[in-house]
Amino acid sequence: MKKKFLSVLLVLSLVLSFAGPAFAQDAPAGYVTVSVDINTLGNGFLYEPVQVPFYEGESFAQITDRLLDGKYENSGSVDDGTFYMETVILPRAITVNIPQFILDETGPLDQTGKAEGETLGQFDYYGMSGWMITVNNTYIDRSAGAVYAQNGDVCRWQFTVYGYGADLGSSFMSDPMYERADKDALTAKVAQINSAPNKAELLAKSGVQSAYDAAYTVLGNLRAEQSAVDSVLTALNTALQAQPPASSVDISIHLSTTLDYMLGTVPAPAFGTGGGEWTVLSLARAGHAVPEGYFEDYYGRIEDVVTENNGILPSSSSKKTEYSRLIMALSSLGRDSTDVGGYDLTAWLSSMPQVQKQGINGPVFALIALDTNGYDIPDVLATAAMTGYSTATAADQVTRQRLIDYILDREIKKGTDDAGGFALSGTTPDPDMTAMVLQALAPYRSQPAVAGVITRAVTALSAIQRTDGGYASWGSVNAESIAQVIVALTALGVDPATDSRFVKEGNNPVTALLRFYVEGGGFAHILGSGAGSGVNGMATDQSAYALVAYDRFVKGKNSLYNMTDAFTSTEEPPEQAASIILEGPGQITGKAGTAFNVLVKTKAFPEGNFKLMDGLLNIPDAFSVENVAASDRLNGGALSWNYNAADKKLRFVYTNSSLENIGISGTSFPAELLTVTLKLKSDMDEASAATVSVGGLTLKEKSDAAAFVFDVAQAALSVAFSTVGVSVRELFTGDGVDLIPADKRAVAVTFSGIPAGSGLDYKGAELIFSPEMTAKQGANTYVLFTVPTEAAEELQKAENYHLQGAAASVVAFGDTDGNSVINAQDALDMISAWLRKTSVSTDLQILTYNVTSDARINTFDALAILEHYVSGAELAILSR
Amino acid sequence: MDPIKSLRESAFLQNKRNRILLIAAGLLFAAIIIMMILLMGGATEKLFAPSLTLLSPAPVAVDNRDEINVDVLLSDLPDRVYPAASLSVRFDKNKLEFLGARQGTMMTLGDSTQEEVTYNIPIWKSDAAFANQTGELNTMYLDVTGGKFAYVREGFQKDEKDILLRLRFRLRDSAQVGEIYDITVTDAVIATIGGAETRTSLATAMRTLKAYSAKIVVQ
């Protein structure tokens, strides 16, 4: 029995020993940065810096094994401390250009390059050569199999030619040839970008691509000085953190009404140029709400077309752009074009002769379509049976580089001083064609030849732009040409509304396009009253997706045609219920006449054509209603109210005499609806309390439609009475990252029963008086800086506060320069402080600057000042 | 004897040189007094400060509902870096509708590289709906990088690149022939980093920027 039990135990432990690691493999223990470079051969990275997950107990040998996918040769075992990297199997061909300072030591060397698949390892090119590894900038003195990963480690494999690492600046075996800079932080930052799912979007941000390219230059320079490395890292960080320009052309009305118009006129999109793919693409990329099943039914119709025609799309025999257009639309929906009813639509783009049959448009849109989701290009021979390309040869195979080269070859006046731009025919740059080429080439601008063509094409577009900001093509100034230019510029990270190359006499392409807008939605092909004026389908399609492209650019989203985001599932956050909450002091002085404010707020406000808002509050007998005021955010109406002492209910209506829509401005929630000022009618015992609550609150559209009813289940405020009422609210606690120390906590303390503005201290700490918070609360409110561990019970005790002789310091939120005017200087002061160009050190300064009432002083505070200044948005710290 | 007459006929003043010296001394004294007054009032600074002028448009026909542009003209831009600027303007919301801000001609730095400096003409942020509610339009340009896209001297040129921005209005139906509507600057600043302390910002509040308002005449 005992033996049997032990056997079972042994089997069980064996099973678990295999299962254990399997469970452990499910979740990485962290991420490390790994790169493989051959800078000593003058040829950059074999494996660019990337973030690699590692699992508990993994060594760098095991991590490298996973990264290189076995494409190396080693001695020893990858699983223990005997591992030694002998050779790497080249993932690409290399040319060799050994830096002169190394050749000065070695003498002339054979610098023959190697092909992809050949090996590079010890003793190649010189007798001292081989692979070395650093972990966290230290050349490790043992096997990579004996060094275990920690989260955030940086591991760099480097090929040494001379001196067993002397040419890498290592003192491992001999004197280093130079002082080696620490490039780990820069390598890690580049790895972060390379591993980001939105890498293209990051690189499209203004300034990021150039900083990223500069990083590669520095990383490839063996003898780069530390100052250069640090400078490039700072520039890259700054570019990544930079926000898109706060100013832009407001296109919201034009875009939303046009998309609504498209929905209305295309109730059932189907395969085709009009009423088909472009409509779907515009709506999908805009994230515009569509009727249930709108996109699913469209996809169903597409599947039918594809399967009924055995994959051969109508009109596609000489126009492979039919496939490109469809692939683009499907990508906008996150639909995989490699399996549509069992057919791989990308296969029809695998033959160069087929794609280029219709001229430059073919390769341009093939490239755009394939890049919407990084599609691999199918083998032209393997898919010939499906595509019908029965005479195809291997030489017909489309590659992205072939498409690019085809396009580059068609640059107008290529190779001359006048080169620049593209056209279907002739030597005058056409705005539509030039723009579409730029859209296709944008992801490849790191190629020097492509970059040159792009620069010249952008110059050409600037040169042919009209003074009204628009473009003419085929003899007419039209919306479509402008639309294509907008899509192109945003794909390149150029703001079409502000870049000085595209602002002509105060007009830019975006404002020019808006002139073609037709009131109610839609765009005209040309202006005026002749043929082509009025809403035009093609103009509407192209203008719509151009505005979507611009909108995405301003909001820092993926460009129009980088649709990888459509394939990433992101759950929409659940819609905030429109529930009502009450805010006010939890405790007031129990003396007759004590006044205070109760704020009625909503967590959401529905969209609709509401004409009237009404409701009632339950007011305890202890209070009288002194005033009810509508919030500045409510608009379109006026408030009237009445308190009936008999039933203790305060009733109110917010509406207008002409039954125009009422609404709420701004986008931050909870949003204030009403301020109710109450006063205590008589002295109250300290042991008692009274509760104010909302009995109901609705929005009404018309008499025969159901009202929208706010959720009032949480809308209650209990007010306790004491000798000196103390009510405490949390404001913020610093996290030590941006100017607010980690141990600095700010709370708002509201008192009733003390003179306004009196000097107060709490256990020796001075309180700062806030006239703005006082006006809002209806009772004297101060801000106290304390420690995170100070108990709420202590803060609530009136006896812990002491009146001082001198008046309290006063805070004016946002007024950084203390001149009683909040304007651009204050916003700039916040940015300057965040950039550490000026200092913020005192409690009063912290309070003045941190208008968002979060853990940091940063650009959010500056943006809050902008919104406050321009649109009257309330500073967040006042609504805490 | 009349003291003035006796002074005039005194031996001292009979000497021409003495008269000249006395007059010169008097003028110098007066100049010193004036300068002291000006300095105490801070008016010297104001006297030489750049100015921001709202250019009054041509008179507008009462039935004209086209856009009315009011250019905001800057007289000079000292050689500093200005990453932020704002303008508050009061107008009669019952007679005029504010439509928004349009680009001017003054340029900020663009997405420059080490090899090439580029420029932008920025669009200032404004909120027409809020302005028409309150009768005060507030518009701001803010370079959140703190300088990369700032206004600089190279982006300014008198008569060519000196319009900071353009304000767009339209007459409301309540406009009457013969009425004149003030478009009044209530606050303006073209800000430098730390400019309030160093007084390098151009600001009406600091009197380092003069502001001249405009009028819209209805005919």
For A580-722, CATH number?
2.60.40.680
**Sign of torsion over alpha carbons A330, A331, A332, A334:** positive
As a whole number of angstroms, the distance between CA B89 and CA A252 comes to: 25
Minimum CA–CA partner of A207 in chain B: B111
CA max distance for chain B: 85
Whole-angstrom Cα Rg for chain B: 25
Q: Cβ contact (<8 Å) for B86 and A869? A: yes
Query: What is the DSSP pairing of strand A634-635 with strand A663-664?
Result: antiparallel
Q: Answer whether A243 touches B (CB < 8 Å).
A: yes
Res. A531 pLDDT band, cuts 50 70 90: low
Average pLDDT over residues A174-184: 90
Are B124 and B28 in a shared domain? no
> Does A123 score more than 50 pLDDT?
yes
A824–B126 CB contact, under 8 Å: no
Considering only A35-39, A703-707, A812-816, B202-206, which range has the smallest mean pLDDT? A703-707
Q: Higher model confidence: residue B171 or residue A721?
A: B171
What is the three-class DSSP state of A86? strand
Using a CB–CB cutoff of 8 Å, tell me whether A279 touches chain B: no
Given an 8 Å threshold on Cβ–Cβ distance, is B129 in contact with A823? no
Percent of chain A at pLDDT > 90 equals 47
- How many residues in total does chain A contain? 880
A57 CB neighbour count, 10 Å cutoff: 11
pLDDT score at A650: 92
Contact B103 A210 (CB under 8 A): no
In a mutagenesis test of the A interface, which of B70, B93, B103, B126 is the best target, namely the one with the most A β-carbons within 10 Å? B103
Q: Are B111 and B10 in a shared domain?
A: no
Q: Do A825 and B195 touch (CB under 8 A)?
A: yes
Name the amino acid, one letter, at A83.
F
The verdict on a CB contact (< 8 Å) between A825 and B100 is no
Q: Which of B83, B127, B189 sits opposite A870 (nearest CB)?
A: B127
What residues of chain B lie within 8 A of the CB of A210, using their CB? 113
**A249 neighbors B128 (Cβ within 8 angstroms):** no
Q: What is the pLDDT of residues A205-237, one digit of tens each?
A: 666 877 888 899 889 999 998 888 888 888 888
Within 8 A of B72 by CB-CB distance, chain A residues are none
Return the closest-CA partner of residue A322 out of A312, A334, A335. Answer: A312
pLDDT at position A201 is: 65
Contact B138 A870 (CB under 8 A): yes
Mean pLDDT of A611-619: 91
Domain extent for B188: 49-217
What's residue A204's pLDDT? 65
- Token duo for residue A309: 């025609």
pLDDT at A2 (0 to 100): 46
Residue of B73, B86, B190 to mutate for A, most A C-beta atoms under 10 A? B86
What is the pLDDT, as a whole number, of residue B181? 96
Q: Which chain B residues touch A506 with a CB distance below 8 Å?
A: 102-105, 121, 166
Would you state the pLDDT for residue A860?
A: 84
CB-CB neighbours of A671 under 10 Å: 19
pLDDT tier at A14, thresholds 50, 70, 90: very low
Question: What integer pLDDT is reported at residue B154 of this predicted model?
Answer: 92
Domain boundaries, chain A: 27-239, 580-722, 726-879
Integer angstrom CA distances of residue B114 from A214, A528, B111, B117, B151 = 11, 45, 10, 7, 18
Report the CATH number that the domain containing residue B63 is assigned in CATH: 2.60.40.680
Of A764, A767, A725, nearest in space to A747 by CA: A767
Tell me how close the Cα of A33 comes to any Cα of chain B, in angstroms.
28
Q: Please check whether residues B118 and B195 belong to one and the same domain.
A: yes
* Greater pLDDT, A493 or B56: B56
Which CATH number describes the domain made up of A27-239? 2.170.130.30
Give the number of domains in chain B.
2
pLDDT value at position A591?
86
Chain A residue numbers with beta carbons less than 8 Å from the beta carbon of B133 are 635
Compare all CA atoms of chain A with the CA of B149 and give the residue at the minimum distance: A245
Q: Which of A131-140, A358-367, A427-436, A800-809 has the lowest mean pLDDT?
A: A800-809
Contacts made by residues A64-67, CB under 8 angstroms, sequence distance 24+: A64/A34, A64/A144, A64/A155, A64/A157, A67/A34, A67/A36
Residue A704 pLDDT > 70:
no
pLDDT < 50 positions in chain B: none
Residues of B in contact with A824 (CB under 8 A): 84-86, 140-142, 189-191
pLDDT of A285 strictly over 70: yes
Q: Would residue A285 be called left, alpha or beta, if left means φ above 0 and alpha means ψ between -120 and 50 degrees?
A: alpha
Which residues from A are below 8 Å from B83, CB to CB?
828, 831
Taking CA–CA distances from A248, the nearest residue in chain B reads B123
More confident residue, A348 or A802: A348
CB A726 within 8 A of CB A648: no
Instruction: Please tell me the distance from the alpha carbon of residue B190 to that of residue B174, in angstroms, as a whole number.
Output: 35
The confidence score (pLDDT) of residue A17 equals 39
Chains A, B: CB contacts within 8 A come to 149
Please check the confidence at residue A199 and state whether its pLDDT lies above 80: no
d(CA B112, CA A460): 19
For residues B96 and B175, give the distance between their C-alpha atoms in angstroms, rounded to a whole number.
Answer: 8
3-state helix vs strand vs coil in chain B, percent to 5: 25, 35, 40
Pairwise CA distance, residues A377 & A351, whole Å? 10
Chain B CB contacts of A835 below 8 Å: 146
A207 and B85: CB-CB below 8 Å? no
Cβ neighbours of residue A367 under 8 Å, at least 6 residues apart? A400, A403, A404, A407, A440, A441
pLDDT, residue B44, reads 53
Per the prediction, chain A carries an average pLDDT of 87
pLDDT value of position A6: 45
Could you say which of A824, A859, A871 has the minimum Cβ distance to residue B191? A824
Whether the pTM exceeds 0.80: the reply is no
The larger pLDDT score, comparing residue B182 to residue A201, is at B182
Q: Over 70: is that where the pLDDT of A29 sits?
A: yes
Pairing of the two strands A765-766 and A760-762: antiparallel
B26 and B111 belong to one structural domain = no
Query: Is the predicted pLDDT of residue A198 greater than 80, yes or no?
Result: no
| Pairwise CB contact (< 8 Å): A819 & B130 | no
Q: Which residues contact A658 (CB under 8 A, 6 or more apart)?
A: none
Do residue B170 and residue B209 come from a single domain?
Answer: yes
Q: Do B58 and B165 fall within a single domain?
A: yes
Nearest CA-CA partner of A778 in A874, A880, A677: A677
Residues of B with Cβ-Cβ distance to A817 under 8 angstroms:
196-197
Residue A253 clears pLDDT 90, i.e. is over it: no
Query: d(Cα A91, Cα A4) in Å, to the nearest integer?
Result: 54
| B99, B163: one domain | yes
pLDDT per position as a tens digit, A677-701: 999 999 888 778 889 999 889 988 8
Residues of A within 8 A of B134 (CB-CB) are 872
The pLDDT of A562-569, averaged and rounded, is 79
List pLDDT tens digits, range B25-81.
888 888 888 777 665 555 555 567 899 999 999 999 999 999 999 999 999 999 999
Token pair of B147, please? 């300088």
Closest CA to A464 of A413, A423, A524: A423
Same domain, B56 and B34: no
Are the CB atoms for A130 and A160 separated by under 8 Å? yes
Same domain, B163 and B69: yes
**What are A273's two structure tokens?**
């140029």
A509-532 average pLDDT score: 85
Locate the chain B residue with the closest alpha carbon to A504. Answer: B105
Cβ-defined contact of B123 to A497 (cutoff 8 Å)? yes
pLDDT at A589 over 80: yes
Cis preceding-peptide flag for A53 (omega within 30 of 0): no
Confidence class for position A639, pLDDT limits 50, 70, 90? very high
Coil, strand, or helix at residue A631?
A: coil
Q: Does domain A726-879 have CATH number 1.10.1330.10?
A: yes
Please give the pLDDT value at position A532: 63
Q: Identify how many contiguous H helices and E strands chain B contains and give both numbers.
A: 6, 14
Please report the residues numbered 624 through 653 in chain A whose beta carbons come closer than 8 angstroms to any beta carbon of chain B.
635
- Most confident among A12-16, A545-549, B11-15 (mean pLDDT): A545-549
Segment A855-866 mean pLDDT: 88
Confidence category of residue A412, pLDDT binned at 50, 70, 90: very high
Contact A246 B125 (CB under 8 A): yes
Same domain, B118 and B153: yes
- The alpha helices in A221-274, defined as continuous H runs, are 226-241, 252-265
Q: Is A668 an 8 Å CB contact of chain B?
A: no
- pLDDT at residue A572 above 60? no
